[in-house]
Each structure stands twice: as structure tokens, then as C-alpha cells.
Structure 1
């Protein structure tokens, strides 16, 4: 009985995200002071993911370098180009355009791993893509920013990699270890982890909105439109290009989420350091929107079953997708 309740709660998490976002926007004071909970909550979600994964999940990804190559390539081609096109079409002022393009030149964010988990995509692939795009950021982000804006930026790649290791890798490895040694004991409570993840991401979104409520009021519809278009182009492009190249439904979902969800925190930090406060607005708004759009997309995909052919490895072996 409780498992059905948990599944229902998890399936409705986009609704909880929208409702709590509205509350956070109306009463930001209740959420803004709790930014310190974001990283622990993300780590908690990653731990839950690790418990539902196996080492074979990651070994399977390593056997498919073409998927990792495509996801990384699209991260650093589609998103910068989409940002540039959006700026041209909307005729954004220089500061805002710099912020949107800088956002497009950033690597994937850890929130994509959470959304992939909830969307029944390939979490192991998502984690690998986030790590690889972050690893290449020290070269790709400054170079692409120079190409599209004409100004270089300094990227603290060491700090970013340490963050990815602490927030993503360590909790996932801990979860994998728990799953390996106590798989039978935790199987009865496996349904709890998606529900915990859904609740945690909803709270994180509310905290982000509460923290950036003033930016939302000041940004105006133009910046919001730019962010929505940029995110939408990334999600749609990632999915349909993957499908056109005959990748599986699960892989296409994962690449779409990974490409469409940027490391907005990095873009905000770089914009403030190298451009202006106004240039940081697109990143701040994106951090809100991509979580909401990702939640809605994950809610939609989680209700659509993955084709049976997707559940068989391209190398002929049954894929382990317990809890995912």
C-alpha cells in the first residue's frame, strides 16, 4: 500500500514543484535563508541514485563512447549556438546577451543527474556526461566565450571538479557500495528513494526561487523568454538529434536533459566576475527555469514506458535498471 502512495507522490512531483515555487515566489523569506540545504539535499539525492544503480550500469556506459562523445559535443556546440541565435532574434542588450551566451558555453549541471533519475533515463550516462563536460570546461568555456563574445573568461576547473566529486561522485559511490553489499535488504524499501529525490528537488527549486525572487521581478519577460527558448532548444535538439542518429529512447532522453540543463551557478559566477550584474541575470533565471522545465519533462517521461528494445543492451545483454 505504501509503495503505491510513494509512486503516486513521485509521479506528481512536477505539480508539487509548481505549487511550492509559487509559494516561494510569494513568500521568499521562508526559503531564501536556507541556501545551505541545497548541496546536502543534492548529495542525498545522489546517494539514493547510487543505491538504485549497479557497477554494471557504469561499465555499460564505458562500452558506448559514441553516446558520451555525442552528448559532450552537443553540449559545446548546440547550446552556445542556440544562445547566440536567441540573442540575435530577441535583439538582447549587450549585457544580457553576454550572460545568455556565457550560459550556453558552460558545461552540464549536476541537476541534470537528478532529472535523469526521475525521468527514467540513464543515470550512469548522465553522471558520466556531467563529469566529462566539466572536465573539458577549462578549455571549452573560455574558448567559446571568446568566439561568440570576443572576451576570455577564467574558469576554476579544479574547483568545479572538486564540487562534482563531492556532490555527485562520492555519494553515488557510497550508494553503489550499499547496494552491492546489502542489495537484498534494501530491495523492500527501494521505492522510497525516488520519493525522497522528488521531495528534495522540489525543496531545492523553492529555495532557488526564494533566493532569486528579486531577480525575477526585475528581469522582465524578455530575459525569461530568452532563457525558455535557450533551454527548450537544448532539450529538443538533444533529444531529436540523438533519435535521428538512432540512439535508444533512454539515451536520447539522457542526452536531451544533459544538454538542456547547464551549470547555471558557474555562469552566474563568471558573469559577475567578468561582465556585470545584469549579465548574471540569465544564469540566475535559468537556474530556476531549467529545474522547473526539467521537472515537468521528467514527470511526462516517467509516465511513458521505455520501449522493450531499450531494455536490452545494444551488445545483447540485459541491462540492469533496478529502480530506474
Structure 2
């Protein structure tokens, strides 16, 4: 019941953070440790055989990464044009659309009964590819070059995702009986951590959220919705089972918007960072709503789909 109320907790704590930001601003330095806790919790549910299975899912990985770097950049540009954004906001939208999938996609996939090992692998692959593709896509569509901080991105990926997940897999492999007994608590730990991260992001962005207005918020919501819908239905129509469809939907629709905001501030203007800031808040809310919905629905396998035809 508590997990099903995940979206409600996210919205309530976001509202508290918006009206009382001082309660959460001081926790800014805890975002990375909280993400590491989340990734460790997920790693504890995985074993080496899960990642061996991913090697058999090369088609799913290829389709997911292709959708990631086609759907989101094109959708970002289209939405910016429809809303008539100026260059600064258009750059901000394109940065959100051109970065890799965010680590929150792994959390939502885990809670939604998706393929967590596939999700983590896709996040890692898209992050590495994003080092080259993010500046290329932004330059291609806006005509402005962006220098991506390669070394810091790789260090962050290693520290926040790969290291804690690997540690979790090792611990689970060595102490599987103990972990099985504690496994029921892991979703609650992940939920608490992600809700707190959402609140911190809202608190840090509260003044900008007042200034930006509803137009950019509407654009961000539309952009995120397009990614989630196309990520799911394109893979469904290609014949993947619902676990993979859920996974790719989150990978495509949930972006590393924190990186997008950071790149915008560093290479463009604070106004260009607003789409990334809003996306950071919204995609966690929309992702938690969708994860809550899918967590209550059975997973349909390819065999089940074939037998129903």
C-alpha cells in the first residue's frame, strides 16, 4: 500500500519543498549519496545471470538507444517550435532531449516490474554515447556547439551507477540467503530516497519555478509524455514483451535532466537551464505515477502475446 502511494508522497513532499525550501536546500550534497543508495538497493536484487540475459537482448538495447537519441531530440525541437520559444529556451529543450537517460529511469523500472538489468545497461550505454551525441545533436539542430565534460560524466556514471550496482550484485551473490530475507524492504528504501531527491530538486529550483511560468512547464510535460508513449508503443509494436516495453519507455522518457541543466548554465544562460530544472521535477512525478500503475498490473510475456493471437 505504501509503494502504491508513491506518487502521492512525491507530490506532497514537492509541495512542502516549494513552499518551505529552506527545509531541503541544505540537503543538496545528499543527492549523490541518495542516488548511490538507490542503485545499491537495486544491485542487491540482481545477480550475474541477469546481466548475461541482457546479452541475449541486444535487439532491445539497440532499439532503446536508437529511440533515446531520435525521439527525444526531435520531440524537444518540435515542442520548442510549437510553443514559439526563443533561442535560449530552445537550447534548453534540446539539451534535455539530447542527453542520456537518467538514473531515475532505473528506479522507476525497478518499481514497475520492468527489466532492471536491461535498464541499467541501457543507461550506461546511452550515457557513454551521449558524450559524443549530445553536442552533435544540439549543434545539428540549433547550430551551436556544446563541450560535454567527458571525464566528469564518466566519473559520475561510475560512482553513482556502476560502482554501487556492482557492489550490490557481489553482496547478493555472496550472501543471497540474507538478502532474500531483507529484499522486501528494498523498494521502500528506493521510494524514500527518490522522494527526498525530488523534494531537494524542487527546493533548489523554487524561485526559478515561480519565474518560468506555465508555458515552459506545459512544454516539458508534453516532451516527457511523448517520450514515454513512443518508448512503450514502438517497442510493443515491434513484438517485445511488456517488461521490455516498460523498461524502454522509462529509458526514453526519463532524461538526465540534471546534466542538461548543468550544461545550460555552463555553456549558455540560466534561462536555458529552466527546461532541465522543470524536467527534473516533472519526470520523477510522471515516472512515479506510471511506475505505481504498472506495479499493479501483471507482466505480459512474448509467449502470452503469441498465444493470444
TM-score range, shorter chain: over 0.9
Out of 82, 86, 95, the position equivalent to 2:79 is: 86
Q: After TM superposition, what 4+ stretches of structure 1 lie above 3 angstroms from structure 2?
A: none
Q: Give the corresponding residue for 2:45.
A: 52
Q: CA deviation at 1:311?
A: 9.0
* SS state at 1:128 partner: helix
Q: Can you list the C-alpha shifts for 1:157-190, whole angstroms capped at 9, x where unaligned? A: 2211211111111111111111111111221221
Residue 11 of structure 2 is aligned to residue 18 of structure 1: yes
- CA distance in 1 between counterparts of 2:149 and 2:134 reads 11
Residue 250 of structure 2 is aligned to residue 257 of structure 1: yes
- CA distance in 2 between counterparts of 1:171 and 1:310 reads 31
Out of 116, 129, 132, the position equivalent to 2:125 is: 132
**Residues 13 and 198 in structure 1, CA contact (< 8 A), matched pair in contact too:** yes
* SS state at 1:31 partner: helix
Residue 114 of structure 2 is aligned to residue 110 of structure 1: no
User: How many residues matched?
Assistant: 305
- CA distance in 2 between counterparts of 1:123 and 1:261 reads 15
Q: CA deviation at 1:115?
A: 1.2
The TM-score, its normalising length taken from structure 1, stands at 0.91
Q: CA deviation at 1:32?
A: 1.3
RMSD between aligned alpha carbons? 1.4
Residue 89 of structure 2 is aligned to residue 96 of structure 1: yes
* SS state at 1:52 partner: coil
Q: CA deviation at 1:310?
A: 5.5
* SS state at 2:175 partner: helix
Q: Give the corresponding residue for 1:155.
A: 148
Q: CA deviation at 1:41?
A: 0.9
Change (3 A) 1:311 1:204: farther
* SS state at 2:27 partner: helix
Unaligned 5+ runs, structure 2: none
Q: Give the corresponding residue for 2:234.
A: 241
* SS state at 1:153 partner: coil
Unaligned 5+ runs, structure 1: 1-7, 315-324
Q: Can you list the C-alpha shifts for 1:216-256, whole angstroms capped at 9, x where unaligned? A: 10110011011001101001110010101111101010001
**Residues 240 and 302 in structure 2, CA contact (< 8 A), matched pair in contact too:** no
- CA distance in 2 between counterparts of 1:101 and 1:168 reads 24
Q: Give the corresponding residue for 1:281.
A: 274
- CA distance in 2 between counterparts of 1:186 and 1:131 reads 25
**Residues 239 and 302 in structure 2, CA contact (< 8 A), matched pair in contact too:** no
Change (3 A) 1:232 1:224: same
Residue 22 of structure 2 is aligned to residue 29 of structure 1: yes
- CA distance in 1 between counterparts of 2:111 and 2:287 reads 9
Residue 72 of structure 2 is aligned to residue 72 of structure 1: no
1:142-221 map, 5 Å: 142-221=135-214
Out of 283, 287, 295, the position equivalent to 1:294 is: 287
Change (3 A) 1:37 1:177: same
- CA distance in 1 between counterparts of 2:292 and 2:299 reads 14
